[in-house]
Chains A and B, each alone.
Chain A
Amino acid sequence: MRVAIAEDLYLLREGLVHLLRAHGLDVVAAVETGPELLKALTGDPPDVAIVDVRLPPTFTDEGLQAALEARRRVPGLPVLVLSQHVEQLYARELLADGSGSVGYLLKDRVFDAAQFVDALRRVAGGGTAMDPEVIAKLLASNARSAPLGRLTAREREVLALMAEGRSNAAIAQRLFLSESAVGKHTASIFAKFDLAPSDDDNRRVLAVLAYLNAQP
């Protein structure tokens, strides 16, 4: 799998390159700035890009803008965005085109290399990887909405993991449940939300996120 990396801090960039190579991934580009990133992504699109939100030359959301622009030019280009902080606002912008293949994680998640590479593969495969903190914020800001109040505690846990982009199998493993039990929980969540059930992990995430975002 061919990976492009955009990160301005040398140590972190080299660390990522080592980590990915150790997991057998092929790093085709490791760039520092927004314009370089855009060139790397649109010239010869990699299988997945890892992008830091804040990049030179402006040190604002240069990386995010470059990633969004690249996805406009190359629809569905898988992008995993890394940041020191997570915002629902950015998550929405990444998910807005509804085509999936996006990830948005805190930089801390790199600590757990196996999980990080797993998330990267998920994004490259067309899935999503939302940081647990984004989901926590999303659920907290919907805490007063009625449908969320109707969920049981277990259903909430399943919902949070589902919204992160995890498959039923991964959720089952995480919560020490059987896959069929997770299936029952997701069906119940979809019923309570009045959403059509779906087995496609990605479509399911988008449906849930869109639903929560639309809630007053």
Chain B
Amino acid sequence: MVAGVVAGHARAFARTTLLLAGAVVQALMSVGTIVALVLAVGQGMVFIFAPLVRTHRRVTALARRRALAWSGVEIPEPYEPPPPPPVPDAEGWYRSDRVLYKTPRVPAFNQRYKWLLGDPATWRDMLWIASDSVVAAVVGLLPLSLAGYGLAVAVPWVTPVPWPAVFAVPAGLAMTLGAFMLAPVLLRTHAVWCSWLLGSTPRARIARDMGRLARSRSDALDAQNAELRRIERELHDGAQARLVAVGMTLGAAHDLVRADPGAARTLLGQARSESAAALAEIRGLVRGIHPPVLAERGLGDAVRALALDSPLNVDVVVDLQVRPTAPVEAAAYFAVSELLAEAARDERAERVEIDVSPRGMALRITLTGVGAPAPAVLAGIERRIGVFDGVVVVGREGVGPPMITIELPQALAHTTEGTHPKMPLSKSIPVVLGWSLGWLPLFPQGFVAGVNKIVNPENRSWFLALYLPEPMQWPFIGLMIMLGTFLYGMATALPLLHSREHGTDACAPAFTYRRR
């Protein structure tokens, strides 16, 4: 335990030193970048630009990985997606602006150029490389110099201070220890600073979300169209044709009923079986559109009905107090239905467990004992649930049976609309106190007291700090300012954290802490 903590601090210390080395590299890179930019823009050597940006992205990718590995700060990539390859027009020409080209080389180059130049993340990367060379240098130098200075103070024959060894040795060791204590905090602070420039901006996030939404919308429309065409075809070739046959047979029976009652009876029997077949076909079709059991009973019993019809041994656990909306239910139902049908084809599959339960506002369905389906099936399921931002995860836990998890976020959101869980008193009281009392230490006892101490130290007025003995005055003022800042910070942070916990935060955070 203790050894682990010590090792952790030592590791963090070593890493801050590594940051220092990185800072040197970044400083050199910044100089190189300026030269390259001057050449690219000033001398027209635009072909330098793409490799330059690629190099930057490699360096920043490293920094993102570093922030996650060293401090647990996850920084998502902010880049806009690359442009699709150029498509030739009807005559086989490639168009770029107003010029036509025979090969896609130049248009592709122009597209890439615009893509890299137009992405704000490109410039933010450059800004980070330049400014981080300074920040990282400070972060790296601080613990190193503090530890070095502390060691120097502690060693009697090199000590730079004229203190007796009784003071100097503990003081020096304390400084060194302090440097080690400081290292992880500095490292994390540095990671958060990196996330500020390297993370995605709200604009980039919105652009990405919009791209995804447009894709899923067109997928949904395609799927719906295909479905309608299939239904039309099946009605046309199946039930409709059969009903025509029924009508014709009845007509023939009608004509024969006097002349040949026996033949008429046979025909009527035919008409009856024909209409039964039409009904059976329509039943199958209805099942494919919206299964009756789903409409009648909801997702839980519909999945139970699927389990009963499956040749596999399926256990179903459903924990749903409320029904998701009908489209979500249908998407979830068909996903489970397709996965079970796939599993039934798999000779190895035997026991399947299906768990349908809420996860906050999300609906999660876990199928244990179901292996990865064929890629086409998986793609179909993804398309179906993609409309609702749903995801499918295929995998297994350790050596356990294979598992498929379907998660539909916000599937149950409609049930809690307007009933956003209120903050408990243990949170709302500190918020009220913070907002109502924060000003008191921050201004009258903090900043104003400080200004007064500088300007007119004789007038003690209502400033508590000035009634204390002289050496305690500045620390007390500092403490008051910190207290005020803390109160305001708490009052701001608590509601934010609360809403994020309960999933009502519309905007994803720029970075997330990952528990390790």
- Residues of chain A touching chain B, judged by Cβ–Cβ distance below 8 Å, are 53-54, 60-61, 83-85, 87-89, 92, 107-108, 111-112, 137, 140-144, 216
For residue B296, which residues in chain A have a CB less than 8 angstroms away from its CB? 53-54, 60-61
Q: Which 3 A-B pairs have the closest CB atoms?
A: A88-B308, A61-B296, A89-B305
Bound together, the chains give a CA A216 to CA B315 distance in angstroms of: 10
> Which residue of the partner chain A has the closest CB to B310?
A141
Chain B window 278-315, contacts with chain A (Cβ cutoff 8 Å), 1 for yes, 0 for no: 01100100110000110111000100110011111100
CA distance A25 to B293 in the complex (A): 32
**Nearest A residue to B276, CB-CB:** A108
Inter-chain contacts of B292 with A (CB < 8 A)? 54, 83-85
Can you give 9 A-B contacts (C-beta < 8 A)? A61-B297, A85-B283, A87-B293, A88-B305, A108-B276, A108-B280, A111-B276, A140-B311, A141-B308
Measured in the bound complex, the distance between the Cα atoms of B313 and A61 in whole Å is 26
CB distance from A139 to the nearest CB of B (A): 10
A84 to B308, CA, bound (A): 19
Please tell me if the beta carbons of A85 and B293 are within 8 angstroms of each other in the complex.
Answer: yes
Would you call B229 an interface residue if the criterion is a C-beta within 8 Å of the partner chain's C-beta atoms? no
User: Which residues of the other chain, B, contact A87 by a CB distance below 8 angstroms?
Assistant: 293, 305, 308
The B interface, classified by DSSP as helix, strand, loop or mixed, is helix
Residues from chain A with a CB closer than 8 A to the CB of B279 are: 107-108
Nearest chain B residue, comparing its CB with the CB of A215: B313
The answer to whether residues A140 and B309 also contact, given A85-B286, A108-B280, A111-B272 and a CB cut-off of 8 A, is yes
Chain B residues near A142 (CB-CB < 8 A): 311
Give the interface size class of chain B.
20 to 34
B310 CB contacts on chain A under 8 angstroms: 141
A112 to chain B, nearest CB (A): 8
Q: Contact check, A60 vs B295: say whether CB atoms are below 8 A apart.
A: yes
Q: A54-B296, A61-B296, A61-B297 are in contact. Are A88 and B309 (CB under 8 A)?
A: yes
**Contact residues of B between 429 and 477, Cβ < 8 Å to A:** none
When the two chains form the complex, which single residue of B272, B283, B293, B313 contacts A89, counting CB atoms closer than 8 Å? B293
List chain A residues, Cβ under 8 A from B313.
Answer: 216
A108–B313 CA distance with the chains assembled, in angstroms = 31
- Min CB distance, B64 to chain A, in Å? 50
Chain B residue with minimal CB distance to A144? B311
Which residues from B are CB-within-8-Å of A137? 308-309
Asked whether B337 is an interface residue with its Cβ less than 8 Å from the other chain, the reply is no
Given contacts A108-B279, A111-B276, contact A89 B304 (CB under 8 A): yes
In the complex the two chains form, what is the Cα distance from A84 to B311 in whole Å?
23
Q: Which of A54, A87, A141, A216 has the most CB of B within 10 A?
A: A87
* A142-B310 Cα distance, complex, nearest whole Å: 8
Shortest C-beta distance, A158 to chain B (Å), equals 21
Q: Write the nearest CB–CB distance from A152 to chain B, whole angstroms.
A: 20
Given contacts A60-B297, A89-B304, A108-B276, contact A141 B283 (CB under 8 A): no
Extra contacts besides A54-B292, A89-B293 (10): CB < 8 Å: A54-B296, A60-B295, A61-B297, A84-B286, A85-B283, A85-B293, A92-B308, A108-B276, A141-B308, A144-B311
Residue among B275, B287, B297, B310 with most chain A CB within 10 A: B297
Interface centre among B272, B286, B292, B295 (most CB of A within 10 A): B292
A85, B434: Cα distance in complex, Å: 63
User: Cβ of B275: which chain A residues have Cβ within 8 Å of it?
Assistant: 111
Closest chain-B Cβ to A92's Cβ sits at a distance in Å of 7
Q: Which among A60, A89, A142, A143 has the highest number of chain B CB atoms within 10 Å?
A: A89
Complex Cα spacing A87 to B275, Å: 22
Instruction: Please name the residue on chain B nearest to A216 by beta carbon.
Output: B313
Q: Which A residue sits closest to B277, measured CB to CB?
A: A108
Contacts of A144 in B (CB 8 A): 311-312
Q: Tell me which residues across on chain B come within 8 A of A85, comparing CB atoms.
A: 283, 286-287, 292-293
In the assembled complex, the Cα of A216 lies from the Cα of B297 at a distance in Å of 24
State A83–B286 Cα separation when bound (angstroms). Answer: 13
Which residues of A sit under 8 angstroms from B276, Cβ to Cβ? 108, 111
Which A residues are in CB contact (< 8 Å) with B286?
84-85
A86: nearest chain-B partner, CB-CB:
B283
Q: For the complex, what is the distance from the CA of A54 to the CA of B297, rounded to whole Å?
A: 11
Contacts of B280 in A (CB 8 A): 108
Question: For residue B304, which residues in chain A have a CB less than 8 angstroms away from its CB?
Answer: 89
Beta-carbon contact of A143 and B311 below 8 Å: yes
CA gap between A112 and B269 in the complex, in Å? 10
Question: Which of B287, B301, B309 lies in contact with A141, CB distance below 8 A?
Answer: B309
- Contacts A85-B286, A108-B276, A111-B276 given; does A141 touch B311 at CB 8 Å: yes
Complex interface residues of chain B between 302 and 360 (CB less than 8 A to chain A): 304-305, 308-313
